[in-house]
């Protein structure tokens, strides 16, 4: 008879062996795929891309938000998100609360939580976004494509990636 506890305890090691060796990588400051996002075509740089490294279980982007711009209040149905503000200042929305953010601020956003940020300062906000599980970085690639989209096509894209915007 198979000891179920022993079998299930061995599953992660078996899966890792099937995946092959996980090596990681070092990526320079200018590395990664750049996508232009939003009405001002603000740069989003994909730093950890699960499409390029299938062993990645999370993804990471950097984003620049110009003064007066922002990330509209939205939620992710499938991903948790961690945001790290590297420079600039603004106001973040998390659930029903608003809080000032500046360099060094970390925002943890559990899946299903409304969140967004506005740049209320005079300099660009530079921030890092980390998503778990991986995959949401594909949204930035899709939304950055230059093809004009109807409202219905945009809504279908949002549904595909599990993102909802507060209306």
Nearest to residue 74, comparing CAs of 131, 17, 9?
131
Using alpha carbons, select from 130, 111, 126 the residue that is nearest to residue 48.
Answer: 130
Residue 42 half-sphere exposure toward CB, CA atoms < 13 A: 18
| pTM flag (> 0.85) | no
Model pLDDT, residue 14: 47
For residue 154, count other CB atoms closer than 10 A to its CB.
12
pLDDT surpassing 80 at residue 148: no
Mean pLDDT of 50-62: 93
Structure tokens at 27: 């990526």
The answer to whether residue 4 scores a pLDDT higher than 60 is no
Q: What is the pLDDT of residue 151?
A: 86
What does the alpha-carbon distance between residue 82 and residue 117 come to, in Å, rounded to a whole number? 13
Instruction: Let me know if 129 is exposed, middle or buried by CB neighbors in 10 A (0-12, 13-18, 19+).
Output: buried
Say whether pLDDT at 116 is over 90. yes
Share of the chain above pLDDT 70, in %: 84
CATH superfamily of 26-165: Jelly Rolls (2.60.120.10)
Mean pLDDT of the chain: 88
Q: What is the mean pLDDT of residues 48-71?
A: 93
Where do the structural domains in the chain lie, given as residue ranges?
26-165
């Amino acid at each position: 008879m198979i000891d179920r506890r022993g079998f299930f305890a061995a599953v992660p090691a078996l899966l890792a062996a099937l995946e092959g060796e996980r090596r990681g990588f070092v990526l320079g400051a200018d590395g990664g795929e750049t996508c232009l996002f939003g009405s001002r075509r603000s740069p989003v740089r994909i730093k950890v891309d699960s499409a390029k490294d299938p062993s990645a279980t999370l993804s990471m982007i950097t984003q620049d938000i110009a003064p007066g711009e922002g990330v509209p209040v939205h939620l992710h149905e499938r991903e948790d998100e961690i945001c790290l503000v590297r420079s600039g200042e603004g106001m973040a929305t998390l659930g029903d609360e608003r809080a000032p953010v500046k360099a060094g601020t970390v925002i943890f956003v559990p899946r299903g939580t409304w969140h967004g940020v506005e740049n209320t300062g005079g300099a660009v906000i530079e921030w890092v976004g980390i998503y778990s599980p991986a995959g949401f970085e594909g949204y930035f690639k899709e939304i950055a494509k230059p093809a004009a989209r109807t409202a219905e096509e945009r809504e279908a894209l949002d549904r595909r990636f599990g993102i909802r915007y507060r209306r």
